[in-house]
Structure 1
């Protein structure tokens, strides 16, 4: 490869990586429904790269139509490789930031659109007095039994050099297979590290408390039933929602005129 060809390749690769970084930062999809050359919308990635070419003559001279057919760096496999590289660098940066600090792990699992069980992993640690939570990845698991989840987490720890002895907390969504007293994931961790204290999901605790209260107090149960009915009636019709908004705006305007509400940015 000549020196000029190498420079052209670096410019083309840099533009491709910049487009991928922008889409990842904004949480936008890459692919388009129709990515052919005569398409009116080729998708976010190709459209962003074209926009970049329109505003930078150096990039335009070596990208898209001006690039070699076998070296355009726009294929879906190339995009996935770049995304994977960026993901690895981000996770490695988080792991380096944790270093030898103590940390906690937050786990949840759910099925994706293809009905595959996916386990999300979040690390929580303290850095210079600030509590930091970092999402570090999604791991595919064959099932949600405690042993399978434990093996997946052990594999994640092994890949990224995390030590089980530094684990000081574990939190889950409250599912029985994850928090069971004897066979759950909680106990499997505690057998290896007695300091990995389990904390029940506070949102799930609140939900259980509300359910228990509603079941034992007729007035509260009636309130929730009334709220559900109102939401269903209003939400089923755009006209009813508009009527409710108009009524609320009129009441707010009247309260402002009467001095019952204070005006200010974000107050109303």
Structure 2
């Protein structure tokens, strides 16, 4: 029985790893047994069972009703574990190297404010890497809240402020304000963390300005 559970769990993990690697969605609109398209996760699991009798014998219809390991909560737990392991590998790769961060914030579909954090560093082979390391949910978008979220991220991943050499984000006042913006708060703590206006955002602003001046749009 314990071996069946291990086979079932490993099959679920393998399917989730494939979907994460490809950036695919997990759930379908209709996940009932009669559904023609129950979502990528269940389809992937069914496909895996079709090509492995040992797995097929213990999953989906052949699994106990109270232990299918296909619920959304189980999927989220496995995804969270994969995210943790991935970020740990990134942080170990950063090591004692100098690094910069790229930050942006926006609202999600539930109108909650969130801030994405990307770390930029040069690895031991001399390659420049930009890796997403997480999303921090915010109570508001003031510079103090943004700074607190960055401090929380640094603390969680044992990133040293003394190794911090660059900050990049858009030109909003709460971000690059000269006296009270996020840029200023970080520079007070580490004068070596030079600020660079996000080039992607500069391009976006340029495109907006061009389209406004063009009669073709």
Q: TM-score by structure 1 length? A: 0.76
1:172 aligns with 2:178: no
**Paired residue for 1:198?**
195
**Paired residue for 1:66?**
62
Note the alpha carbon deviations across 1:54-89, whole angstroms, 9 max, x for none.
111010011111112221111111000000000000
Gaps of at least 5 residues in structure 2 are none
**Paired residue for 1:148?**
145
**Paired residue for 1:16?**
12
| Larger gyration radius, structure 1 or structure 2 | 1
**Paired residue for 1:157?**
154
Q: How does 1:50-129 map to 2 (within 5 A)?
A: 50-127=46-123, 128-129=125-126
Of the three residues 174, 183, 187, the one matched with 2:180 is 183
Any idea what SS the aligned residue of 1:174 has?
A: coil
Of the three residues 218, 221, 225, the one matched with 2:214 is 225
Which structure's residues are more often helix, by fraction?
Answer: 1
Q: CA RMSD in A?
A: 1.8
What's the CA shift for 1:36? 1.1
Q: TM-score by structure 2 length? A: 0.93
Gaps of at least 5 residues in structure 1 are 215-219, 229-268
Runs of 4+ that moved beyond 2 A: 202-212
**Paired residue for 2:132?**
135
Any idea what SS the aligned residue of 1:132 has?
A: strand
Work out the CA distance in 1 between the residues paired with 2:51 and 2:207.
56
**Paired residue for 1:259?**
none
